[in-house]
Structure 1
Amino acid sequence: MRLIHTAAEIEAFVQETKAASKTIAFVPTMGALHEGHLTLVDLARQKTDVVVVSVFVNPKQFGANEDFDKYPRTLNEDAKLLETKNVDVLFAPSVEEIYPPEGVREQRAGVVGSTFEGASRPGHFDGVLTVVGRLFDLAQPDAAVFGAKDAQQLFMIKKLAGALYKDTEIVTAPTHREPSGLAMSSRNRYLTESQKTSATALYKALKTLRQPLSLTIEAARTLIDSTPETKLDYIAVVDPEIFRPVNDDFRGKALAIVAAKVGDTRLIDNLEIELTEPNR
């Protein structure tokens, strides 16, 4: 596995790879890799000839009072894990390489980017889309793999790719879960054992959602709010085509989404559900 730190190096590698008529799959991460990330790498390997994984903790997607400074940075351990998966390139740039003095193309998330996660973390999705655009410009991937856990992020990355990166296929990897049902996340390492137990309430609450939503969402809120050390931010059901809330009249495929703090750790999760006529 080749370790690359600069924009110039990754551009040269991409040029060589394309000249050899080889395809590139790209897995962007913020590091602190876990088993869930490795399933993304496995999916990438099925898609193309070459797999590039980036590790970059993006300052533009963290708010003033968020965990940028304490976000886990474990590059050596990450590299060892990726070597077991025969990754071709690990791209681990500095902030200066991603955001040089001459600037990069800034992206705006629009209306959807100001709801749910965007309402709780203003500017977050502008930062996400800006770094994804920059990384796509450097890696020029034929396919890019993202986890389904970050549902709102994935929705907007698909919109970005459809507008500006039409040659890049966005591949969705299913959410990887602990045996308890807790969605795997790099932030789970902040949780105590008792907090990990409390955190399972998020997935349990999502699984209770059905029509009529006006009743089941209220019950799900109560479930989460009654869980030790857990403070709900939001729980909702959205139309996955437009990422806007649905009501009691909606029928069909929907996406249940939730965010909560467990202790000091903010967690998100989601679940695809089918909304049908309520049982009478």
Structure 2
Amino acid sequence: MRIIANLTELRRVLTDARKAYQRIGFVPTMGYLHDGHMALVQASRAQSDITVLSIFVNPTQFGPNEDLSTYPRDLQRDEKLCRNAGVDIVFAPDAREVYPAGFETFVEPGELAKPLCGAFRPGHFRGVATIVCKLFNMVQPDLAFFGRKDFQQCAVVRHMAIDLNLPIEIVTVPTVREADGLAMSSRNRYLDGQERQRALAISRGLLAAEAQFREGERNVGKLLALVRRHLEKVDRLQYLELVDTDTLKPAQSPLGAPAALCVAAHIGTTRLIDNVILDPKFT
């Protein structure tokens, strides 16, 4: 495994790979890796000849009162996990490599960035779209792998790739959960024991609604009400919405097209997101 911090070296190594007609898979991360990230690596290794994983905590996607300064970081731990998982290249640039002095050009996403997290985190998806576009230009992969837990992010990135004619296939990988159902997230480490138990209300509500959907429930109001009953244990519910997977507009009853049941909630001071996809074709 190679650890690269310099863009010039990264491009040199990957140019050699392209000359050898090797297929490049890319896993962009902010580090503090877990099994959800490793699932992305596994998917990349299955579909690519070379897997590049980036580690960069992107400042432009954090708001002024968010956790940029305290976001978990452990590069040595991450490198060990990557080596054990079979990553070929870890790209870990510093901020000056990514955002040079005088940087002022951003990618502005459209309507898909406005609802859900976009309504509560102004500028978040502007930062996400910008860093992903920059990393795509740095790595120039054939495929890029994203976790479905960040459902709206996947939608924004896929639309950006289409709009900007980026020759990259966006691959989404199902959410990886702990044994008790909690969606894996780097922010889970913020939770103390009691908060960790209360956080299960999110996944239990979503999975209960998913089970009802599989049994034939197609009423939007009833599915949302079922989740809301579970969410009484969270400290602050930011949103609970059932949206069309393509447009992110509110889904209508009876559900006849794929929809995403999405939650953002605070447990203590920790903000967690999760979702399940309800697709009539697979019930």
Same structural fold, with TM-score higher than 0.5 when normalized by the shorter chain? yes
What CA distance in whole angstroms lies between the structure 2 residues aligned with 1:194 and 1:245? 33
In structure 1, what is the equivalent of residue 118 of structure 2? 118
Equivalent pair of 1:26/1:143 in contact (CA under 8 Å): yes
Query: What SS does the aligned partner of 1:252 have?
Result: coil
Output one character per residue of 1:120-169: Cα deviation in whole Å (capped at 9) or x when no partner. Answer: 11000000000000000000000110000000000011111112244211
Equivalent positions of 1:123-162 (< 5 A) are: 123-162=123-162
Matched residue, 1:56: 56
Contact 1:214–1:247 (CA<8 Å) still a contact in 2? no
Question: Given the two structures, how large is their TM-score scaled by the length of structure 2?
Answer: 0.92
Unpaired runs of 5+ in structure 2?
210-216
Match of 1:261 among 259, 266, 271: 266
TM-score (norm 1): 0.93
Residue 17 of structure 1 deviates from its aligned partner by 1.4
- Structure 1, 12-21 or 115-124: larger mean CA deviation: 12-21
Aligned partner of 2:230 in structure 1 is 223
CA separation in 2, counterparts of 1:138 and 1:116?
Answer: 29
1-structure distance, mates of 2:170, 2:222: 35
How far, CA to CA, are the matches of 2:177 and 2:80 in structure 1?
22
Aligned to 1:197: 197
- Identity percentage of aligned residues: 41
**Alpha-carbon shift at residue 275 of structure 1 (Å):** 5.8
Other-structure match for 1:46: 46
- In the superposition, relative to structure 1, how do residues 10 and 102 fare at CA in structure 2: closer, same or farther (>3 Å)? farther
Trace 1:169-208 onto structure 2 (pairs within 5 A): 169-208=169-208
Query: Displacement of 1:193 after TM fit?
Result: 1.7
Q: Which amino acid aligns with 2:243?
A: V
Aligned to 2:240: 235
Contact 1:199 1:230 in 2 (8 A): no
Q: Distance in 1 between matches of 2:17 and 2:112?
A: 36
Contact 1:104-1:134 within 8 A present in 2 as well: no
Distance 1:139 1:22 in 2: 13
User: Which runs of no fewer than 5 residues in structure 1 stay unpaired?
Assistant: none
Pick which of 208-217 and 256-265 moved more: 208-217
Q: Can you list the C-alpha shifts for 1:76-114, whole angstroms capped at 9, x where unaligned? A: 000001001221110000111011125374111212212
Distance 1:131 1:67 in 2: 18
How well do the aligned residues superpose, as a CA RMSD in angstroms?
1.6
Aligned counterparts of 2:173 and 2:224: Cα–Cα separation in 1: 27
Tell me by how many angstroms 1:238 deviates. 0.7
What is the SS of the residue equivalent to 1:260? Answer: strand
Residue identity in the other structure for 1:137: N
CA distance in 1, matches of 2:165, 2:206: 33
On the 8 A contact 2:55/2:91 being kept in 1, the answer is yes
Following the alignment from structure 2 to structure 1, what is the Cα–Cα distance between the partners of residues 102 and 13? 23
Give the 3-state SS of the residue equivalent to 1:90 in structure 2.
strand
User: What secondary structure sits across from 1:96 in the alignment?
Assistant: helix
